[in-house]
Amino acid sequence: MATTQVAKVSFKEQMLQAREDAIIQTVNRLLSEKGFDAMTVDEVAASVGIAKASLYKHFPSKEDLAAAAMVKVMQRAQRFLQSLDPEAPPMDKLKAVARWTMEVQLAGQMPSLPSQNSTLRNTLMASREYMDGLMDVSDTLGSWIEAAQAKGLLNPQLPAIAVLYTLYARACDPVLEFLKTGGQHTDAQIVDLVMSTCFDGINAR
Amino acid sequence: MATTQVAKVSFKEQMLQAREDAIIQTVNRLLSEKGFDAMTVDEVAASVGIAKASLYKHFPSKEDLAAAAMVKVMQRAQRFLQSLDPEAPPMDKLKAVARWTMEVQLAGQMPSLPSQNSTLRNTLMASREYMDGLMDVSDTLGSWIEAAQAKGLLNPQLPAIAVLYTLYARACDPVLEFLKTGGQHTDAQIVDLVMSTCFDGINAR
DNA sequence: GTCTATAAATAGATAGAC
DNA sequence: GTCTATCTATTTATAGAC
């Protein structure tokens, strides 16, 4: 009986986890499409296919719901960083990260950041999980940036923090959406274009 | 009697215009701080110091209120473009424009664009005044971009539209706010940094 | 945990007196 | 045109049965 019960609980937990993953995936899509303020909890529930009250059993508030989605994205980023060959040149890894973030955005899975002073921002800043992930990612990228600057591959006159923010901003760059709406370029071409403007600038060389 | 009446009307109209300007200035600030969705009409009314109902005598809806603010920004941009010396090199004018948009943003007077599919976007697209202004600005900047590319000063391999969008995006670049929050740089330094990353990229040369 | 139904609060918009 | 007071719809959140 004991083994059956254990198996049963494990199965239930798996189902629970799967549902929460589905919720968060939906939230990430909506956050990417319309942002936190325009996204409604009704929408999320309807899109996932469960009742709103059920949603609130999983997450205590809209802010926590969005925060959980942001944490998931941050974890995904951490996994991506860890998947890169530690022996690879830092500059290559930075370019791979920039490219990856743009691809995630074009896939509609990159939530637009709450740059304004919103309630979500407060929740995020209070989230240990999110902040730890952000710190970890920033530390890793920061070390790569400094290494690339030391090698003379990144402009050493720029503060590392400015480079870091510039890369972060590319993950939410509206230019990608603009160009996609234009319909004149494929996703791959759009990524290449923004990679070029990000690293080489718009000046001629 | 006739002259008195005319003068009276003119004065009233001036007061009306002044009030509407004050409203729009407040709206621009709030749009810049929190975006369209998070901005409430109650806030606007309270900030201007008039009743909400009075606000609705001036503007028929929240969308129209925001649209009027965006039109004002667009007109301001048009005036700035016209203020530049027509004989100056196109590249110099483009840099002046980029710098100016960043300064406006740092001054808290640049509304964040409705990149998502929002009701505001529809209203803006339906606004002849806004769209005409946008077209005019885009045409002017586009011609300067092509001229700078022809002279080999801007990368001719980039589609002109990609350069245009890149410049537009700088006007709302979250990097400015990030760096400002960091508190390690003056506004002038921040503008210089982003000017550098925009035109020269983050690579070393 | 999931549901239906509902509460409580908020936001956009309007009525009507002055 | 400005105000107070109110309406209506929406939205976040919860109660309570199953």
Query: What's the pLDDT tens digit per position in B14-28?
Result: 888 899 999 999 999
CB of B60 nearer than 7 A to strand C: yes
Tell me which residue in A37, A165, A197 faces B37 most closely, judged by beta carbons: A37
Q: Label residue A77 exposed, middle or buried (CB < 10 Å: 0-12, 13-18, 19+).
A: buried
- Digit-coded pLDDT (tens) for A79-132: 999 999 999 999 999 999 999 999 999 999 999 887 677 899 999 999 999 999
For residue B5, the model assigns a pLDDT of: 53
Reported confidence tier of residue B7, pLDDT bands at 50, 70, 90? low
Position B147 in a domain: yes
CB of B50 nearer than 7 A to strand C: no
Q: Name beta bridge partners: B154.
A: A203
Q: Residue B40 CA to C13 C1' — how many Å?
A: 13
For residue A5, the model assigns a pLDDT of: 53
Position A48 in a domain: no
Position A54 in a domain: no
For residues A204 and B11, what is the distance between their CA atoms, to the nearest angstrom? 54
Reported confidence tier of residue B195, pLDDT bands at 50, 70, 90? very high
CB of A54 nearer than 7 A to strand C: yes
Phi, psi of B203 (to 5 degrees): -65, 155
For all residues of chain B together, what is the average pLDDT?
A: 94
Residue indicated by tokens 């050493």: A156
Q: Residue A180 CA to C12 C1' — how many Å?
A: 33
Position A32 in a domain: no
**Protein footprint on strand C: which nucleotides are under 7 Å from a CB?**
1-5, 10-16
pLDDT for residue B112 is more than 90: no
More confident residue, A117 or A153: A153
Distance (Å) from the alpha carbon of A179 to chain B's nearest alpha carbon: 7
Distance (Å) from the alpha carbon of A12 to chain B's nearest alpha carbon: 37
What would the two tokens of residue A38 be? Answer: 């325009």
CB of B54 nearer than 7 A to strand C: no
Position B205 in a domain: no
For residue A168, the model assigns a pLDDT of: 98
Domain of A118, CATH number, reads 1.10.357.10
Reported confidence tier of residue B48, pLDDT bands at 50, 70, 90? very high
Structurally, how many domains does chain A consist of? Answer: 1
pLDDT for residue A9 is more than 90: no
For residue A8, the model assigns a pLDDT of: 58
For residue B16, the model assigns a pLDDT of: 86
Instruction: Determine the 3-state secondary structure of A49 from DSSP.
Output: coil
Give CA A152 to chain center in angstroms: 29
Chain B interface, mutation test: which of A153, A202, A203, A205, most B Cβ atoms within 10 Å? A202
CB of B62 nearer than 7 A to strand C: yes
Q: Which residue is closest to B117 within chain A, CA to CA?
A: A34
SS3 content of chain A, % helix, strand, coil (to 5): 75, 0, 25
Tally the residues of chain A. 205
Instruction: Determine the 3-state secondary structure of B118 from DSSP.
Output: coil
Single pTM value for the model: 0.95
> What residues of chain B lie within 8 A of the CB of A155, using their CB?
196, 200-205
Whether the CB-CB separation of A177 and A183 falls below 8 Å is answered with no
Put residue A161 in one of left, alpha, beta given phi > 0 → left and psi -120 to 50 → alpha.
alpha
Reported confidence tier of residue A189, pLDDT bands at 50, 70, 90? very high
More confident residue, B27 or A1: B27
> What residues of chain B lie within 8 A of the CB of A161, using their CB?
179, 182, 184
Question: Do A34 and B200 lie within an 8 Å CB cutoff?
Answer: no
Closest CA to B173 of A53, A136, A165, A91: A165
Q: Can you state the angle between helices A90-106 and A128-150, rounded to 10 degrees?
A: 130
Tell me which residue in B117, B155, B204 faces A155 most closely, judged by beta carbons: B204
A129-134, long-range: CB < 8 A, 24+ apart:
A129/A71, A129/A74, A130/A67, A130/A70, A130/A71, A130/A74, A133/A71, A133/A74, A133/A75, A133/A77, A133/A78, A134/A74
Position A30 in a domain: no
pLDDT, mean of residues B149-177: 98
Q: Residue A51 CA to D11 C1' — how many Å?
A: 15
Position B88 in a domain: yes
Tell me which residue in A35, A154, A178 faces B202 most closely, judged by beta carbons: A154
> What residues of chain A lie within 8 A of the CB of B175, using their CB?
162, 165-166, 168-169
Task: For B75-90, give the DSSP string.
Answer: HHHHHHHHHS-TTS-H
Q: B81 is in which domain, residue-wise? A: 2-200
Whether the CB-CB separation of A201 and B199 falls below 8 Å is answered with yes
CA atoms within 13 A on the CB side of B171: 21
Position A95 in a domain: yes
pLDDT for residue A2 is more than 80: no
Eight-state DSSP code of residue A184 = S
Question: Do B38 and A118 lie within an 8 Å CB cutoff?
Answer: yes
pLDDT for residue A34 is more than 80: yes
